[in-house]
Amino acid sequence: MTFLPEPLRLLAFVVGIIAFVALNAAYLVWLERKVAGHIQRRIGPKEVGPFGLLQPLADGLKLMSKQLLVPKGIDPYLFKVAPLLVLVPAVMSFVTIPFSENLVARNIDIGLLMIFAFASVNVMGLLLGGWGSANKYAVISAARCVSQNVAYEIPMLITVITMIMVSHTMNLNEIVMQQDGNLLDWYIFRLSASPLMPVAFLIFFTCSLAETNRAPFDLGEAESELIAGYHTEYSGMGFGVFFMGEYANIIIGCSLTTILFLGGWQSPLNMAADGWLAILGDGWWWFLAKVYFLIFCVMWIRWTYPRTTLWGLLNLSWKYLIPISLVNLLVTGAMIKLWPLMKTFLMGAS
Amino acid sequence: MIADLKSEFAPLAPVAIIETDYQVKGYHLDVEVGAGQVVAVAELLDRRGFFLESITGVDWLGKTPIANQVEAAGEPAAVADSEADAQDGAAEKSAEQMEVVYDYNHTGGELCRVVVRCRLERVKPEIPTICQLIPGANWHERETHDFFGIKFLGHPDLSPLLLPEDADFHPLLKDFKV
Amino acid sequence: MSDLARSQNQETFVLNLGPQHPATHGVLRVKLTMDGEYIAEAEPVLGYVHRMHEKMGENRTWAQFMPNTARLDYLGALSYNHGYVKIVEQAMGIEVPERAEYLRVITVELNRIASHLLWFGAFVLDLGGFTPLLYAFDDREHILDLLESVTGARLTFCYFRFGGLYNDIDDDFITGSRAFIKRLRKRMPEYHDLVTKNVILITRLKDIGILPAEMCRKYGATGPVLRGSGVNYDVRKNEPYSVYPELDFDVPVYSECDSMARYMVRMDEMEQSMRIIEQALDKLPAGPIMPEKVPRMLKPEPGDYYSAVEAPRGTFGVRVVSDGTNKAYRLKLRSPTFSNLSLFGEASQGMLLADALALMGSLDLVIPEIDR
């Protein structure tokens, strides 16, 4: 990718990212419906195209052809800006995500911080959409979303701080490169950094579920209580943009989890090979495989568990996740100082 | 149980207390009271641990209300409105009557179903409410008011329950024309 | 406004859980006065499906009214059939042949299982678990197929006749029922593992929606609502009818009074219904399904009668005033869910919206039955 002059390279990447996000948003819907179908002992879409693969196209056409209803009494700016505030930050966050060693739009040194800065704008979108809709259900939903998002950002950020302490950098590509090697070098298994690493992974994954308002934390959108929550009043493509934004956020969440804990684009086998065996080496295919595996888990969880109550949700965060992540932080800090000593002790002893 | 109840009802001086054949009728005790005693009877049964199963009305519209006879007579009352002299006590040949029927049941111990009736004039039917004692009566009384126009004095909100909010007709009256 | 609403001294707003809503199974409107996420006052508004069955009962002959009974509670239609034929048989002294009684019990209990399965799926759906609904419907399909082969209908059965039934069963039905029971017996542990023991479900149901036994008595609540509050009252045991006295089954009673208790009562009731069906199939005698002489024109003796059966939702009572003609003079249908819902106004005060919906789901409402 170095043969293009810099601005053009960036442009190519951005176009590629938008295409990637759009394609994913469309086909993750298909995947969700198939996964849901098979978990529920039915097939899912199968009529439109082979295996229902053209279903997202049909859905897109349907959404675009619907009248964009703008109810009376809404706040015109907030109502129209809200869906964009959900979709655009997610797309922008992709700029720093390394798909492989060289496939990064912009390898920013504070990439991790930038992603979280953008992710916080997501909740603004939900709040404005709910408030601007002039619909009581939407307002309740927006209030719930805000309290949920605030509660779950905290353990997420504490866990990220822990990872930064371990990796000494906020550059995402470097974090992945530090997990070079085989399966056991991935941070999730790096018990020398902190014996609570797998717990940190679970906390981070749960928080990313809660941040994206996915079941079992989908109180904001609780279908059977609030009709459709913050996006009740949106029709046609307005709803479509919210939808795409939700899936884009899921991809970001899973990508971050992969990069921080599961080794990003690193292969689990420590080999450099040539020819067709190169597929077993590091590369963007491993990144995508891991991300899609996590997305599958996200969908799996959605269709298996019922919804938590508001108190259960907030209690889980404030009473369990935050203390555990703080303990993890302390333990990691201790291990960073103590591990070299322990290593010399163990080396000396053996 | 039934004998106890009969003795407890006695001081309230109901119009009639009849023990009925449960196998045929489906209830054990049939108590007829005047409008003023309905609350006292409800309070008595509530204290005894009964629950209210339903309240309903019957529109007699000039016919003689069919009632259970004390067992000595041996036959149930006939429907005709000309045999007034053959009956004693239960059926007055008054012009137009409506009836409110309360069904009470008991969950513990011996099974005992008590039916409490009250005859009202058809022109302006009014009866005190029992919903301050038994909250479950609230909706039953509203429904009876919907269907028959019986006014329950003291009821907090007699707006239509099943009929539309602005309904001013009472469908189950026998002279109701669609 | 209630005291709670006034004392809050804050802005409350009115939220309409409108007639169209995914959680109010059927067309029920609940006017909620909300204080933030808490309910200050809840007022159910009924009448959206009101069809005036009681007037129809007065304008139709006894036999012509049979199909109406199925349209009251379409999920437990056979129990309603049973309640209606029972009162006329009781009033006229018609003897029902034993084979018919056993078949009645078998079909009614199958219907009860089907109704509880649908309640199970819909209830967990309300709580956000989308999947058990489809598994429950899968099981329910088997029951509906069985019942369709005998009665000709899948939902609104009109199978009972005065004195017996209109169609006899065949061997396929018996083998099918036994196979179904075996299948459901294998499935119930799965439901319990995946749903009942799910931590999230337990948090959502335990200690939510407490309905003390005294409150249930004051409002006339019956059925699983009452049995979940510790009161052992089941019409099949306390006021036996049909051949229930000859069958051995337990009545599940839980005394915690919360939504979890009502949930467990219904799950256990499915198990007990399976026991009843097995015993009834074993004891099924040969014989006719209608008595030899049933009067063509049914004219019960003048007077009023009352009869009750245990429907899946509670005590279904029928009060009939007969004037000796071939039509009822007054037909009153006492619907169990009507009384069960009447306690929602008082019980939901001060609850969170999500908890109130869990309570409403655990009451197992079918609106056409409330509205009649």
∠ CA B35-B36-B42, rounded to 5°: 85
Nearest CA in chain A to C15: A136
Question: Is the separation of the CB atoms in A113 and A120 below 8 Å?
Answer: no
Question: Could you give the CA distance from residue C210 to residue C261 in angstroms, rounded to a whole number?
Answer: 10
Reference C362, options C269, C264, C255, C230; nearest CA is C264
Q: Which residues of B touch C304 (CB under 8 A)?
A: 25, 58, 66, 101, 115
Give residues with Cβ within 8 angstroms of C360, minimum separation 6: C23, C24, C30, C344, C348
Give residues with Cβ within 8 angstroms of B33, minimum separation 6: B12, B14, B15, B41, B116, B117, B118
The 3-state DSSP class for residue C248 equals coil
Question: Could you give the CA distance from residue C74 to residue C61 in angstroms, rounded to a whole number?
Answer: 21
Question: Could you give the CA distance from residue A218 to residue A215 in angstroms, rounded to a whole number?
Answer: 5
Asked if the Cβ–Cβ distance from C307 to B107 is below 8 Å, we say no
Asked if the Cβ–Cβ distance from A303 to C131 is below 8 Å, we say yes
Asked if the Cβ–Cβ distance from C217 to B25 is below 8 Å, we say no
Asked if the Cβ–Cβ distance from A222 to C21 is below 8 Å, we say no
Tell me A276's DSSP state.
G
Q: What is the mean pLDDT of residues B35-62?
A: 86
Q: What is the mean pLDDT of residues A259-277?
A: 76
Smallest CA–CA separation between C297 and chain A, in Å?
49
Is residue B66 less than 8 Å (CB to CB) from chain C? yes
Asked if the Cβ–Cβ distance from B56 to C319 is below 8 Å, we say yes
Give residues with Cβ within 8 angstroms of C27, minimum separation 6: C19, C20, C48, C49, C367
pLDDT of residue C225: 92
Amino acid occupying residue A89:
P
Record the tokens describing residue C275, joined without a space.
Answer: 């026991």
Record the tokens describing residue C158, joined without a space.
Answer: 């009109």
Sorting pLDDT into bands at 50, 70 and 90, what band is B82? Answer: very low
Question: Is the separation of the CB atoms in C100 and C159 below 8 Å?
Answer: no
For chains B and A, tell me whether 3 or more CB atom pairs sit within 8 A of each other.
no
Of A136, A215, A308, the CB nearest to C203: A308
Q: Which residues of A touch C131 (CB under 8 A)?
A: 39-40, 303-304
Is residue B54 less than 8 Å (CB to CB) from chain C? yes
Asked if the Cβ–Cβ distance from B24 to C319 is below 8 Å, we say no
Q: Measuring CA to CA, how many Å separate B92 from each of A305, B83, B97, C333?
A: 66, 11, 10, 28
Question: Could you give the CA distance from residue A51 to residue A83 in angstroms, rounded to a whole number?
Answer: 30
What is the tens place of the pLDDT at every residue in C143-185?
999 999 998 888 888 889 888 888 888 888 999 999 999 999 9
Smallest CA–CA separation between B137 and chain C, in Å?
7
Smallest CA–CA separation between A41 and chain C, in Å?
7
Nearest CA in chain C to B148: C55
pLDDT of residue B71: 45
**Is the pLDDT reported for residue B75 higher than 50?**
no
Question: Is the separation of the CB atoms in C252 and C229 below 8 Å?
Answer: no
Sorting pLDDT into bands at 50, 70 and 90, what band is B62? Answer: low
Question: Could you give the CA distance from residue B15 to residue B60 in angstroms, rounded to a whole number?
Answer: 18
Residue in the structure block whose two tokens are 């026991």: C275
Compute the radius of gyration of chain A from its Cα atoms: 21
| Mutate which: B22, B139, B176, vs C, most C CBs within 10 A | B139
- Work out the mean pLDDT of chain B and round it to a whole number: 77
The residue that leads in pLDDT, C331 or C15, is C331
Amino acid occupying residue C273:
S
Question: Could you give the CA distance from residue A4 to residue C78 in angstroms, rounded to a whole number?
Answer: 76
pLDDT of residue C265: 93
DSSP string, A208-224: HHHHTT-TTS-GGG-HH
Record the tokens describing residue C34, joined without a space.
Answer: 């909300």
pLDDT of residue C182: 93
Q: Phi and psi (nearest 5°) for A178?
A: -70, -15
Smallest CA–CA separation between C83 and chain A, in Å?
34
pLDDT of residue A346: 80
The residue that leads in pLDDT, A256 or C298, is A256
Which residues in chain C (84-143) have CB-CB distances under 8 A to chain B? Answer: 87, 90-91, 93
Could you give the percent of chain A with pLDDT greater than 90?
Answer: 11
∠ CA C314-C319-C325, rounded to 5°: 145
CA within 13 Å, CB half, C197 = 7
Quote the ipTM score: 0.87
Smallest CA–CA separation between C1 and chain A, in Å?
20
Asked if the Cβ–Cβ distance from C55 to B172 is below 8 Å, we say yes
Question: Could you give the CA distance from residue A96 to residue A255 in angstroms, rounded to a whole number?
Answer: 11
∠ CA C149-C153-C156, rounded to 5°: 145
Reference A249, options A84, A87, A83, A99; nearest CA is A87
What is the tens place of the pLDDT at every residue in C259-269?
999 999 999 99
**Is the pLDDT reported for residue C332 higher than 50?**
yes
Of A216, A225, A304, the CB nearest to C353: A225
CA within 13 Å, CB half, A338 = 11
| Mutate which: B54, B115, B147, vs C, most C CBs within 10 A | B54
Is residue A142 less than 8 Å (CB to CB) from chain C? no
What is the tens place of the pLDDT at every residue in C292-316?
877 777 788 888 889 999 999 999 9
Q: Phi and psi (nearest 5°) for A289?
A: -60, -45
Distance of CA A27 to the CA centre of its chain: 16
pLDDT of residue C309: 92
Question: Is the separation of the CB atoms in C302 and B77 below 8 Å?
Answer: yes
Asked if the Cβ–Cβ distance from B77 to C302 is below 8 Å, we say yes
The 3-state DSSP class for residue A133 equals coil
Q: Which residues of B touch C329 (CB under 8 A)?
A: 58
Asked if the Cβ–Cβ distance from C129 to A305 is below 8 Å, we say yes
Q: Which long-range contacts (CB under 8 A, 24 or more apart) does A114-120 make?
A: A115/A252, A115/A256, A116/A157, A116/A160, A118/A89, A118/A90, A118/A92, A118/A93, A119/A89, A119/A90, A119/A93, A119/A211, A119/A249, A119/A252, A120/A153
Q: Which residues of A touch C128 (CB under 8 A)?
A: 215-216, 218, 222-224, 305-307
**Rounded to the nearest 10 degrees, how much is the dihedral formed by the CA atoms of C262, C263, C269, C274?**
180
Question: Is the separation of the CB atoms in C210 and C351 below 8 Å?
Answer: no
Is residue B77 less than 8 Å (CB to CB) from chain C? yes
Of C126, C194, C352, the CB nearest to A310: C352
pTM, entire model = 0.83
pLDDT of residue B81: 35
**Is the pLDDT reported for residue C6 higher than 60?**
no
Q: Which residues of A touch C204 (CB under 8 A)?
A: 306-309, 312
Is residue C198 less than 8 Å (CB to CB) from chain A? yes
pLDDT of residue A266: 80
Tell me C75's DSSP state.
G
The 3-state DSSP class for residue B102 equals strand
What is the tens place of the pLDDT at every residue in A45-60?
877 778 778 888 888 8
Record the tokens describing residue A180, joined without a space.
Answer: 């070079």
Nearest CA in chain C to B163: C47
The partner residues of C327 in beta bridges, in order of sequence, read C61
Sorting pLDDT into bands at 50, 70 and 90, what band is B80? Answer: very low
Question: Is the separation of the CB atoms in A280 and A273 below 8 Å?
Answer: yes
Phi-psi region of A193 (alpha: psi -120 to 50; beta: other; left: phi over 0): alpha
Question: Could you give the CA distance from residue C260 to residue C242 in angstroms, rounded to a whole number?
Answer: 31
Which residues in chain B (109-168) have CB-CB distances under 8 A to chain C? Answer: 111, 113, 115, 134-136, 138-139, 147, 160-164
Q: What is the mean pLDDT of residues A11-38?
A: 87
Question: Could you give the CA distance from residue B86 to residue B171 in angstroms, rounded to a whole number?
Answer: 33
Helix A322-349 crosses helix A136-167 at what angle (to 10 degrees)?
A: 20
pLDDT of residue A175: 87
What is the tens place of the pLDDT at every residue in A303-340?
888 878 777 888 888 999 999 999 999 998 888 888 88
Burial A110-133 (b: 16+ CB within 10 A, else e): ebbebbbebbeebbbbbbbbbbbb
**Ordered alpha helix ranges (H), chain C:** 3-8, 53-59, 66-72, 77-92, 98-126, 132-151, 171-191, 199-205, 213-219, 224-227, 235-238, 259-283, 336-342, 344-347, 353-362, 367-371
Question: Which chains have at least 3 CB atom pairs separated by less than 8 Å from chain B?
Answer: C
Smallest CA–CA separation between B65 and chain C, in Å?
9
Q: Which of A197-201, C35-39, C289-293 has the lowest mean pLDDT?
A: C35-39
Is residue B37 less than 8 Å (CB to CB) from chain C? no
Q: What is the mean pLDDT of residues C199-214?
A: 88
pLDDT of residue A273: 64
Question: Could you give the CA distance from residue B121 to residue B119 in angstroms, rounded to a whole number?
Answer: 7
Reference C33, options C8, C10, C16, C20; nearest CA is C16
Is residue A36 less than 8 Å (CB to CB) from chain C? yes
Asked if the Cβ–Cβ distance from A303 to C203 is below 8 Å, we say no
Q: Phi and psi (nearest 5°) for B31?
A: -115, 125
Asked if the Cβ–Cβ distance from C131 to A224 is below 8 Å, we say no
